[in-house]
Structure 1
Amino acid sequence: MAFDGITIANIVKELNDTILNGRIAKIAQPENDELLLTIKPAKGQVRLVISASASLPLIYLSRDNKPSPMTAPNFCMLLRKHIANGRIVGISQPSLERIIRFEIEHLDELGDLCRKSLIVEIMGKHSNIIFCNEKGMIIDSIKHVSAQMSSVREVLPGREYFIPDTMKKENPLGIPEENFTQELRSKPMPVGKAIYNSFTGISPVVAEEICYLAGIDSSVPASEMSGDLLAHLYRQFTYFMEQVTESKFSPAIYYDGNEPKEFSSLLLTHFSNYQVKSYDSISEVIRTYYSSRDLITRIRQKSSDLRRVVQTALERNRKKYDLQLKQLRDTENRDKYKVYGELIHTYGYNLEEGAKELEALNYYTNEMIKIPLDPQKTPQENAKKYFDRYNKQKRTFEALSELIKETKDEIDYLESVSKSLDIARSEDDLIQIKEELIESGFIRRKQSAKKVKITSKPFHYISSDGFHMYVGKNNLQNEELTFHFANGGDWWFHAKKAPGSHVIVKTNGEELPDRTFEEAARLAAHYSKNSGAEKVEVDYVEKKQVKKPNGSKPGFVVYYTNYSMMIDSDITGIQEVQ
């Protein structure tokens, strides 16, 4: 979710509660488009991170420091000259714009009290940090914008600062109903899109939430809505925006499994399918969300080569599997040729020379059938032809049956590796998956490369009843958990007929409660190919019943007696041990 005006309002509230009247102790510029201000309020010390990055503009409070260049950039030196040791006397947001204005009091060279403004614009690729004097003239900015770059506004020293109103949007805070209705009806577009195109600081996610609260389909054109429906929508819009004006913020991150999907300063009820985690601070939300997203993005980038290897092998084996199935279907009539040969032996003695067919009683079905014959051959030769065809197709069937099983096992194995890549959380996890692919022959080990040290560990959960549950992240871990870590009396769980993780529940000789069985089954369902399905069938059995066939691939097991249960794959509420 992009920074919208509501998120900025939440940040302004937090900054007013924490750093207002604080002194700026240090000013650093770690990146070309980023400032790091160390601020000392009445108690303690905090750091304010301000990034005007075109790809990821941010502003949040942090306690972490960042390394800075040996020589400070010019903009950083200018700020140090003017506002070092200055006091932050005002933090505001104009309208519901994605803009934060810091009013800073400081002493000039003559010791006189002066006031300057540091204006932070969080506007995607147009984000900027602008330093202005008391009269609103730009002293300098972290990014210079010339007339050649923008026909709307120049951001250069000596120019007057103003907020460009390119979209002609209305302030959503306290807008009259008449103006609200008029704005929506003037937009020939779906009502959800009309809301975020008409009002400042509202993102598509917030517009969707307002429509959801009003019970209105956001795709319905605003021009087709009745007056009563628009009046109802306005009331929900007003109630929602009152949370902003009254600073009733509820910072939270919405997760799909372990992946953060959205964050918000206000409750988003239309995200009922996601798990929600609430926070006391919007800065903590921003830090957590973007660090998690950054980690996931980095892991996906680093796993791209492994995914390509697995995907290529999967596509090759799936094509082979389809071809083998087609060839197997061609052998379905093999028994017919055996019957033909037997019937020719039985009834062919009275055939006329040069006969093109034999009509005979099939004593297997008690029906009359016609058997094509080669008139150039004797009955014995025709019978031999059909027996030869039967034997050839029988051999083909037997060979293909074995090959199809091998190919299917290979596909299942590769799909399990693909699932391992999906749930990998760290580079150590990827290292172990790569090692597995090397051992399985899908990647060739470089002659100079040594076998790497594996530090990745299985997921570790604790059930509501206090039992320890372990989940393999890949096939090597599955093998280690099942055949080296687990005892015979521990319980083993796995999604039925689906690639996925082995789940081990340590019993310590105790009997497991039903709730622990269900939680372990949920883990097995969640960490399988069927994750996300409403109901997943999970097999479970005591570990001593699980065997590994000789020569099978890592993680492949067999068991001949088991229990099963249908369970959902939602693991919300199951405690993970980090």
Structure 2
Amino acid sequence: MAFDGIVISNLVHELNNTILNSRISKISQPEKDELLLTFKGTKGSTRLLISVNASLPFMCLTNENKTAPLQAPTFCMVLRKHIANGRITKIYQPNFDRIIHFDIEHLDEMGDLSQKTLIVELMGKHSNIIFCDKDNTIINSIKHVSCLVSSLREVLPGRKYFIPNTQGNKINPFEINNSDELFNIIISKPLSVIKAIYTSFNGISPLIASEICYRSGIDGDSSVSAFTADELKHVSNCFFWFIEDLKNNKFQPCIIRENKVPIEFSSVTLTQYQDYVSTNYDSISEVLEIFYKEKNIHSRIRQKSYELRHIVTTSLERNQKKLSLQTKQLKDTNKRDKFRVYGELINSYGYNLDPDAKFLEAPNYYDDNKIIKIPLDPTITPQENSKKYFDKYQKLKRTYEALTELIEDTDKEIKHLESIQASIDIATSSDDLIQIKEELIDFGYIKKHKNNKKIKTKSKPFHYVSSDGYDIYVGKNNYQNDQLTFKFATGNDWWFHAKGMPGSHVIVKSNNSELPDRVFEEAGSLAAYYSSGRENEKVEVDYLQKKNVKKPNSGAPGFVVYYTNYSLIAIPDISNLKKMD
């Protein structure tokens, strides 16, 4: 995630086009490290959300309102006192750094025109919102930083505001006049090309340095000394052209996703992510709002599902070990038939044995009368030796029958747990997790407490509409799969499932009509995507009409059987499908 100088530059450009010369109509502080400013101007009302959360600092224009606390925090009260109804006169980014200054003109207590500056520093854990007067004296800040916290700079009322030089002598890339200057700076660093770029220039993140190297066609992780002067000159030219585009405000906000999960964003096209899905947007605020919202959803669900995932993983590992042991024990019973043959041959040919014989050599009529040598216990009679081998046979036979049943049960339990694991992977809300937890409680993986009541959830199957207008439904968990297949779908609807792996039931409502081929392909893609094979390039998918899908007696939720079906090869890509709310 690169909230770098380039994103800040794009944001400043956008703010200058939207809130410059607007008046501050409302100031609220929804969280201890968040500020929500509402502006009114010629273009109407606009909200600006600023977060200086140590793990998630960002700023963007938003349509979303947040509930403010009944008792406004001190910093919020100070801002209301000084700049309520103030006018934004200037928005700028000093030295291409991760800082935005808002110059605000307002009337003081005496009715005279006065100027204040609101400074937003978006620097990871050091992020802050600082309110200063016109001579850079700090009036207040959303986070107070004393000398006990930082030896570089105090951020306290009455102190002078300044930017500490923690980045060394980094250069503002906007001050570079030609590519030769860039070339001389890069070759002077005994580092990899990527590191030489981002450690030399303000506002350039490792992501952007990597992008410049990718556009130049070189391996940026290699040392500067590994390249010729011409190659480095080409890098410098690409970098210079890149900066010129930024100077001319040529931005292209985008989000990079992997399997629909946002992994990166930027204000420029990221050509290095050729194998991922890149979505362009018109506004950097829209990018930031969507990215952090989606990222929050995925990280929050991941955290909330940790306990369930741990329970399932632990049970799965235990059952897999059990299955391995049972399979090994089953293999040991393979010699049971040998003992039965020994017993029969002793009964057939042991009548003329010497009393102290240790072996019986006899033709094996089960194997073309080949001579077989059978060990004997000389201390007992041939009949007792025969009985001894029959007893061993019966014991191994009973073990085989018991193990066969146990292995079948263990295998079913593993498949059930794998299906629950797949459900956790596709969960998108707390309600989805509640249904999964209910299933784990019902099957004894989580202890059921007497006081626990079933919670009504709003979780519903995914609903998509095909390119030809057909409704397609996807179960999020085993209970929803059963509901979709056996209560929602009608006989002529079509049922899809990834072959031989855990996954969702996919139902296409046919409306008693013949489906176009494209609908089968799109439903197959959904079945492939919502399965444990979504990382594969292609997945085999079974499909048939719902009337041919059966639920076996005492089958686990989501478990079905079918005997006649069609198959197709699907690509687990659903980016072109329309998802309904």
Q: TM-score, normalised by structure 2?
A: 0.94
**1:289 CA drift (Å):** 1.7
**1:198 CA drift (Å):** 2.8
Q: Which moved more, 1:326-335 or 1:492-501?
A: 326-335
1:228 match: 230
| Residue deviations 1:287-315 (CA, integer Å, cap 9, x gap) | 22222222223323332332233223222
1:418 match: 421
Asked if the contact 2:116–2:131 (Cα under 8 Å) also holds between the matched residues in 1, the reply is yes
1:539 equivalent in alignment to 2:542: yes
Q: For 1:569, which of 550, 554, 572 is the aligned residue?
A: 572
Q: SS where residue 342 of structure 1 aligns?
A: helix
Going from structure 1 to structure 2, the CA distance change for 1:412 and 1:174 (only over 3 Å counts) comes to farther
Distance across 2 between alignment mates of 1:490 and 1:269: 43
Query: 1:39 corresponds to which letter in structure 2?
Result: F
**1:183 CA drift (Å):** 4.2
Distance across 1 between alignment mates of 2:509 and 2:129: 56
Q: SS where residue 45 of structure 1 aligns?
A: strand
**1:422 CA drift (Å):** 1.4
Query: 1:388 corresponds to which letter in structure 2?
Result: D
**1:561 CA drift (Å):** 0.9
Distance across 2 between alignment mates of 1:525 and 1:308: 25
1:46 match: 46
1:327 match: 329
Describe how 1:3-152 pairs up with structure 2 within 5 A. 3-152=3-152
Q: Which moved more, 1:474-483 or 1:123-132?
A: 123-132
Distance across 1 between alignment mates of 2:467 and 2:416: 32
**1:125 CA drift (Å):** 1.1
**1:178 CA drift (Å):** 4.5
Describe how 1:271-290 pairs up with structure 2 within 5 A. 271-290=273-292
Distance across 1 between alignment mates of 2:458 and 2:198: 48
Distance across 2 between alignment mates of 1:340 and 1:183: 88
2:272 match: 270
2:498 match: 495
Asked if the contact 2:2–2:266 (Cα under 8 Å) also holds between the matched residues in 1, the reply is no
Distance across 1 between alignment mates of 2:514 and 2:76: 65
Describe how 1:408-557 pairs up with structure 2 within 5 A. 408-557=411-560
1:397 match: 400
2:166 match: 166
- Unmatched 5+ stretches in structure 1: none
Distance across 1 between alignment mates of 2:391 and 2:218: 71
**1:188 CA drift (Å):** 4.5
Going from structure 1 to structure 2, the CA distance change for 1:460 and 1:30 (only over 3 Å counts) comes to closer
Query: 1:507 corresponds to which letter in structure 2?
Result: S
Asked if the contact 2:4–2:204 (Cα under 8 Å) also holds between the matched residues in 1, the reply is yes
Distance across 2 between alignment mates of 1:214 and 1:339: 77
Q: SS where residue 322 of structure 1 aligns?
A: helix
- Unmatched 5+ stretches in structure 2: none
| Residue deviations 1:501-551 (CA, integer Å, cap 9, x gap) | 000111111111211111111111111111111121111111111111111
Distance across 2 between alignment mates of 1:371 and 1:106: 108
| Residue deviations 1:351-374 (CA, integer Å, cap 9, x gap) | 333233334444444444433322
1:307 match: 309
Q: SS where residue 174 of structure 2 aligns?
A: coil
| Residue deviations 1:13-59 (CA, integer Å, cap 9, x gap) | 11011001111122223333322222112121112122222222221
| Residue deviations 1:327-352 (CA, integer Å, cap 9, x gap) | 11211222222333333334434433
1:194 match: 196
Query: 2:174 corresponds to which letter in structure 1?
Result: L
Going from structure 1 to structure 2, the CA distance change for 1:360 and 1:415 (only over 3 Å counts) comes to same
Distance across 2 between alignment mates of 1:349 and 1:216: 88
**1:76 CA drift (Å):** 2.7
Going from structure 1 to structure 2, the CA distance change for 1:325 and 1:132 (only over 3 Å counts) comes to same
Distance across 2 between alignment mates of 1:525 and 1:208: 33
Query: 2:490 corresponds to which letter in structure 1?
Result: N
Q: For 1:345, which of 323, 344, 347 is the aligned residue?
A: 347
Q: SS where residue 445 of structure 1 aligns?
A: coil
**1:189 CA drift (Å):** 4.1
Query: 1:6 corresponds to which letter in structure 2?
Result: I
Q: For 1:209, which of 211, 214, 218 is the aligned residue?
A: 211
Asked if the contact 2:182–2:240 (Cα under 8 Å) also holds between the matched residues in 1, the reply is no
Q: SS where residue 95 of structure 1 aligns?
A: helix
1:243 match: 245
Query: 2:17 corresponds to which letter in structure 1?
Result: D
Asked if the contact 2:481–2:505 (Cα under 8 Å) also holds between the matched residues in 1, the reply is yes
**1:463 CA drift (Å):** 1.1
**1:87 CA drift (Å):** 1.4
| Residue deviations 1:257-311 (CA, integer Å, cap 9, x gap) | 3422222221222223332333222112222222222222332333233223322
Q: Which moved more, 1:181-190 or 1:314-323?
A: 181-190
Query: 1:512 corresponds to which letter in structure 2?
Result: L
1:180 match: 182
Q: Which moved more, 1:447-456 or 1:400-409?
A: 447-456
Q: SS where residue 67 of structure 2 aligns?
A: coil
Asked if the contact 2:2–2:264 (Cα under 8 Å) also holds between the matched residues in 1, the reply is no
| Residue deviations 1:399-425 (CA, integer Å, cap 9, x gap) | 211111111111111111111111111
- Percent same amino acid among aligned pairs? 60
Going from structure 1 to structure 2, the CA distance change for 1:196 and 1:397 (only over 3 Å counts) comes to farther
Query: 2:66 corresponds to which letter in structure 1?
Result: K
Distance across 2 between alignment mates of 1:374 and 1:388: 15
Q: Which moved more, 1:495-504 or 1:307-316?
A: 307-316
Distance across 2 between alignment mates of 1:377 and 1:240: 95
**1:570 CA drift (Å):** 1.2
Distance across 2 between alignment mates of 1:138 and 1:129: 11
Q: For 1:218, which of 217, 220, 224 is the aligned residue?
A: 220
Asked if the contact 1:104–1:118 (Cα under 8 Å) also holds between the matched residues in 2, the reply is yes
Q: Which moved more, 1:461-470 or 1:206-215?
A: 206-215
Asked if the contact 2:18–2:43 (Cα under 8 Å) also holds between the matched residues in 1, the reply is no
Asked if the contact 2:180–2:236 (Cα under 8 Å) also holds between the matched residues in 1, the reply is no
1:559 match: 562
Asked if the contact 1:137–1:158 (Cα under 8 Å) also holds between the matched residues in 2, the reply is yes
Matched length: 578
Asked if the contact 2:104–2:115 (Cα under 8 Å) also holds between the matched residues in 1, the reply is yes
Asked if the contact 1:494–1:524 (Cα under 8 Å) also holds between the matched residues in 2, the reply is yes
**1:120 CA drift (Å):** 0.8
Distance across 1 between alignment mates of 2:546 and 2:435: 24
Q: Which moved more, 1:269-278 or 1:38-47?
A: 269-278
Q: TM-score, normalised by structure 1?
A: 0.94
| Residue deviations 1:415-457 (CA, integer Å, cap 9, x gap) | 1111111111122212222222233333343323333324321
Distance across 2 between alignment mates of 1:74 and 1:435: 45
Asked if the contact 1:186–1:223 (Cα under 8 Å) also holds between the matched residues in 2, the reply is no
Distance across 2 between alignment mates of 1:185 and 1:339: 84
Asked if the contact 1:532–1:570 (Cα under 8 Å) also holds between the matched residues in 2, the reply is no
Asked if the contact 1:28–1:76 (Cα under 8 Å) also holds between the matched residues in 2, the reply is yes
1:380 equivalent in alignment to 2:416: no
Asked if the contact 1:38–1:47 (Cα under 8 Å) also holds between the matched residues in 2, the reply is yes
Distance across 2 between alignment mates of 1:122 and 1:387: 81
Going from structure 1 to structure 2, the CA distance change for 1:381 and 1:197 (only over 3 Å counts) comes to farther
Query: 2:261 corresponds to which letter in structure 1?
Result: E
Query: 1:517 corresponds to which letter in structure 2?
Result: F
Query: 1:303 corresponds to which letter in structure 2?
Result: S
Query: 2:373 corresponds to which letter in structure 1?
Result: K
Query: 2:487 corresponds to which letter in structure 1?
Result: H
Query: 1:196 corresponds to which letter in structure 2?
Result: Y
Distance across 2 between alignment mates of 1:334 and 1:120: 79
Distance across 2 between alignment mates of 1:324 and 1:344: 32
Q: SS where residue 332 of structure 1 aligns?
A: helix
Query: 2:384 corresponds to which letter in structure 1?
Result: E
